[in-house]
Amino acid sequence: MLKLATIFTDHMVLQANKPIKIFGSGEGSATIEFLGKTYEAYGIGESWCIAIDAMPYGGPYEMSFESEGTKITLCDIYVGEVWVASGQSNMEMPLFRVDGGLTEARLAENSLIRFFTVPKQFKRGLAMKGTHFYEMDCIDTPWRLCTEESALGVSAIGYTALKEIQERLGCAVGLIECNWGGRRIEPFIDKKYFYDYDFLRPQIEEYNEMLAELDTEAYEERIAEHIKIREREMEKHLDALQMVRERGVCPAVWIPEFNVHIPELPRGPYSLDAPGTLFDSMVSKIIPYGIQGILWYQGESNNTENYAKKYLVFTKCMRESFENEELSFYAVELAPFDYNGIDDEFVTDPNNWAFRREQQMLATKVDKRSHLVTTQHLGDEFDIHPRAKIELGHRMALKMLKHTYGFDIIGDQPTYKKATFEQNRVTVELDNAQGLYTQYWWVFKMYVADEAGNMERAEVEIMDDSRLILKCKMKKPTAVRFAFHSHYNGMAPFNLAGLPLSPFRTDGYDELLKEIEDFAKNELN
C-alpha cells in the first residue's frame, strides 16, 4: 500500500508553473485525481514519486488519493508560491519574540497564507519534545492557515517576507519551516556530497570511523535516556508566548525562569552537527516537494574556514535534491553583534564575523541564483538574536520581488565594486547606489590603510550614485575597509530604497573572489 508524505494535507500550497511532485512511501499502486485528471503511481521500494502537470495560480481545489481500497480526499488546496525558510535560530525566531510582532500578528489573518513546519527530529520519525524560543512537540503536523495564533509561532522573517509577496502577487503562498537553532551548515548537506570535496572529506571520514567503533546498543540506550531527560525537563518549561503577552516585552532566548537543562546528544549517528544529520532527519521529509526557493539564515555556528565553499555545496545539494536547477536562495548576512567584545575596525582574527560575512558575500556573488540580504543597522551589539526581524523580512521581500518575480524596483543594497588608489585619495565605486545619501556624516566611518597595515579614518564625500571619494593624509593608501568588524558602531550610506551599504574590505578581496569563482567553475559543475 502506498502512503502520501506527511507534507500532503488539507490547506497545502503547491508550487505554480512547475511540475508538481507527489511522493510518499510504501509498495504497490495508487490513483491520484486532481483537476479532472487521473494519475497512476507505483512503488516498488521504500519510496515513490510521480510528477503531475504544472498548474497556474488558483484554488481552492481538492485532490483524491486511493491505494488498495483506502481513499483520502485533501481539501482547500491552492496553487501558488512556496518557499522554505531554513537555517538556525535567527531564522527560527518566531513573530511573538520580535519587535512589533504582537501587533503584526493581530493583523495576520489571511486564508491565502499557509504554514507547514518540519518537526525538529535528530532521528527521522522520532516523536519528542523540544525547545529553543518556545516549547514544541516535534511531531508531524498538517498545513495551517494564517491566523493570529498560527502566525505568532512561525519564523518572523519568513512570515514578513511571504506576507509581502502575497500582497504584491495576489496568489496563495506557502511557508515551509525547516530550522534548528545553533546548528552548523554541514548537517543540512546530504552525506554523499562530503566524499566529493577535499575540504569536506575529513569530516565524513572521521564520522565513519566513529560509527565503526560505536557500541550501537549502548548508544541507543543513551539516546533513550536523553529523551527521558528531555521530556522531564520540558515539564518545567513555561509558556513563553503567554509570558510575552502578560509582560508586554520580548524576553531573551534563554530565560532563567525556564530552568530547562537538556544535555548534549551523545556523540553518534544522531549528533546534530554531524554530516548530513538534519538532511536525513528533516530536509528529506519534504524532498522533492515543489518550491520556488530557500530563505537561508545560518552561519553563526560555523567558523570562517571554507564557509563560502560549504554554502555553494549546500545550494548544489538542495537544487539536485529538489530536482530544480533554477532554485533561488536568499541568504541573510550575519547581523551586527559584538562577537569578540572588541571594537576593532581593522580586525585580523579570521573568525571574526566580518570575515564570515565576507564569505557569505563571496558565495552569493559567485552563485548568480543566490542573493545576500544585508542586516546592517538591524543588529544588536549585545544580543546574537536581534529583534528587528520585520524590517529584515521586508528587505528580503524586496530582493525576492526584484530577482525572482521581476518587479522593477530597487531591491538590492549598495555593494562594493572596485577601488582606485591615488596619492592621499581613493575612489570607491559601488553597485546599487541609486540616490546614495547619509544623514550623519560624523558617524560615517571608512578607513584606509597602507602596505604596512597602518590605518586612518578617511574623509568621505559622495560624488554621485556610484562613487565615494575618500581623502586621507596617507600618501599611498592601499586598502579600504567599511564596517568590517563584528558590530559597526557608525552610520552607513543608504540608497533610495533605504538599504544600507554592505560591509566590505578591498585587501584580499580580489584573490578570495577568484578562489571561490575557480572552485565553483572547476568543482561544482
Per-residue model confidence as pLDDT tens digits over 147-178: 999 999 999 999 999 999 999 999 999 999 99
Q: Phi and psi of 369, rounded to 5°?
A: -100, 10
Which is it for strands 129-131 and 173-179: parallel, antiparallel or unpaired? unpaired
Q: Phi and psi of 422, rounded to 5°?
A: -135, 180
pLDDT at 134: 76
pLDDT at 89: 93
Task: Give which of 373, 391, 389, 376 is closest to 484, Cα–Cα.
Answer: 376
Partnered with residue 25 across adjacent β-strands are 3, 47
**Portion of the chain with pLDDT greater than 90, in percent:** 80
Determine the Cα angle at 55 with ends 54 and 59, to 5°. 150
pLDDT at 232: 82
Average pLDDT over residues 48-54: 94
Point out the least confidently predicted range of 7-11, 353-357, 373-377.
Answer: 353-357
pLDDT at 260: 66
Q: Which three cell numbers stand for residue 365?
A: 556573488
- pLDDT category at 249 given cuts 50, 70, 90 is low
Strand, helix or coil at 247? helix
Q: Which position has the grid cell 513563553?
A: 240
Residue 453 has pLDDT above 90, yes or no: no
Average pLDDT over residues 237-249: 75
If you ran DSSP here, which 8-state letter would residue 283 be given?
G
Residue 256 has pLDDT above 60, yes or no: no
Q: Residue type for 524, please? A: L
Residue 474 has pLDDT above 60, yes or no: yes
If you ran DSSP here, which 8-state letter would residue 155 be given?
B
Tens-place pLDDT, residues 103-140: 999 999 999 999 999 999 999 888 887 777 777 888 99
For the chain, give me the number of helices (H) and strands (E)?
Answer: 12, 24
Q: Which position has the grid cell 549585545?
A: 382
Buried b (16+ CB within 10 A) or exposed e, 226-256: bbeebeebbeebeebbebbeeeeebeebeee
pLDDT at 407: 98
Helix (H) or strand (E) holding 357, with range, is helix 353-366
Cα end-to-end distance, the chain, whole Å? 39
pLDDT at 351: 74
Cβ neighbours around 87 below 10 Å, total: 27
pLDDT at 230: 84
Task: Give which of 89, 49, 97, 79 is closest to 177, Cα–Cα.
Answer: 89
Q: Which three cell numbers stand for residue 107?
A: 493583523
Residue 250 has pLDDT above 80, yes or no: no
Reported as half-sphere exposure (CB side, CA atoms, 13 A), residue 253 has a value of: 16
The CA–CA distances, whole Å, from 312 to 147, 287, 332 equal 36, 19, 15
> Domains of the chain (ranges plus CATH)?
2-80 (2.60.40.10), 415-506 (2.60.40)
Q: Which position has the grid cell 548576512?
A: 333
Average pLDDT over residues 289-297: 98
Rounded Cα–Cα distance for residues 50 and 359 (Å) = 38
Residue 253 has pLDDT above 60, yes or no: no
pTM for this prediction: 0.96
Tens-place pLDDT, residues 306-350: 999 999 999 999 999 999 999 999 999 999 998 766 555 566 677
pLDDT at 259: 60
CB 285 within 8 A of CB 319: no
The CA–CA distances, whole Å, from 126 to 4, 117, 213 equal 18, 15, 24
- pLDDT category at 514 given cuts 50, 70, 90 is very high
Partnered with residue 294 across adjacent β-strands are 84, 329
pLDDT at 263: 80
CB 481 within 8 A of CB 504: yes
